[in-house]
Structure 1
C-alpha cells in the first residue's frame, strides 16, 4: 500500500480483475441466478487465499482503511459505465452492518464501496432501506450451510413506497456463498415485489 493511490502501481497491475460487467453469464451471476429475483451480478476481482485482494479486503474491513472501498468503488464505476446491464440503475443499497459492529469498526465497508460507485455512476446511495436486525457471527469461518443459517431472516426493509418497481443494486465487499446477499434480497422483495435487483461486489471468492 502507498500514497500513490490506495495501492502501488505494480500491485494494481497484478490484481485479478474480471470482465464480469461484460458477461451476462459470469461466475457471480451463475452463483446467484434464480435466487430472490437477482437479475445480474458482478465482482471487480477474484479472491484467493493469501493474495493481493485478500490483503486489500482485510485492510478495508479490519485496519481502518475505508478509503480502499471508496477508491475501488470508483475504479469499478468507470468499468461499469461500459456495461449495458447497469444503464438503468435507480439506487445503490449497501449491505448493512449491525449497529454494534458498525460502531466498533467506525464505518460500513460496503457503504464506502457504494459511495465510490455513486461518484462515477451518478446514482444515489441509500443506507436507510435495509437494516440488520440481529448481530450475527462473522461469516468468514463458517461452512456453506452455516452461512445460510447465520443470515436467514436477519434483515428487515423500511417502508419506502417510492422504491417499488425501481432497479436496486445491492453492494457488498465479498461474494462467497451468496447467503448474505440472498437474505438481503429476500427482505426487499418481500416488501417491494416489483423491484428489479442486481448485485455489485468488490470480490468473488474462488
Structure 2
C-alpha cells in the first residue's frame, strides 16, 4: 500500500489538511471551519477542535501508512489573537502526538513553506497560489489549501518519496531536519 503524507495549515478559524500520495499523485483536501461561531468559545472550542482533529487523524492512520506529517509552525511576531492561536496549535499538536510517533511529525516555519515552493521566504498569498500551480500543476482553491499542499509535498520529500531537485528545496529540508542549536548561557 502506498504511503500518504499529510500537510496541515491551521489558522485562527480554519484548518486545511492535504493528504498527498506520491505514487498516485492524488491529493485529498479536508477543510475545517473552527471559527468561534461554529465551534464555540474557550475550552468548549478547544475540546471541539481536538475531537475533530483526533477523529480525522485516526481515520487517516487506519486508512493506510502515513510516511510523514508537516504542519506550519507559529508566525512569531504576529500580534493578533496569538494566545488563541497558541491554544489551537497546542490542541492540534496534542491530537497529532496521540495518533503518531514523534519522528513522523515536522514543524515547518511559515517562511520555509513559502521558500519550498517559490524559492523565497517572503512570497505573498497570491504568489503562493500561482507558484503551487506552476510547480506542481495543483490548482488550490484558496491560500490555506495551497500552504497545506506545499506542506504535504514537504512531508513527502522528508519521507524520501519525492527527493527535491532544487537547491532551495534541499535547504528547506536541511533546516527542518536539523534540531535547533542549544542556546548558550551568557557568561557572567
User: Normalised by the shorter chain, which TM-score bucket?
Assistant: 0.3 to 0.5
The structure with more helix, counted as a fraction of residues = 2
Query: Scaled by the length of structure 2, what TM-score is found?
Result: 0.41
